[in-house]
Amino acid sequence: MKTLHDLVADKLERDPALLRIPLENIDRWLANGHTAPQRLEQWRQIILRAQQTSEGFQELLALLRDRAEATERLREFAPFAGVLTAAERLTVIRQCAFSH
């Protein structure tokens, strides 16, 4: 079953220009006093590398798709709100509801 992070990775893979959305989110969230600025700055560096090199982009996609516990903590503060539409999110939400 795909997760929301899998769908974000899939969509970014199709349209890397969408990386502007999480960068805008980071700027806005930091300006509003987000409680975890260090994690958002970590995301900013990951996303900037993804914009600069194909290796960085592949690392970002792998991070989003990774199901290891070590990456889960970082993804708790993922700035990808707005990359997926409500309809795209709903498919995963419905799958999750049916699996419980």
Instruction: Give residue 98's pLDDT.
Output: 52
- Residues 85, 41: Cα–Cα separation, whole Å: 25
Cα Dmax for the chain: 41
Count of structural domains, the chain:
1
100 to 6, 72, 93: CA distances (angstroms): 20, 21, 11
Find the range with the poorest average confidence among 28-37, 52-61, 70-79: 70-79
Domain extent at residue 14: 4-99
pLDDT for the residue 100: 44
Read off the pTM: 0.89
Residue 73 has pLDDT above 50, yes or no: yes
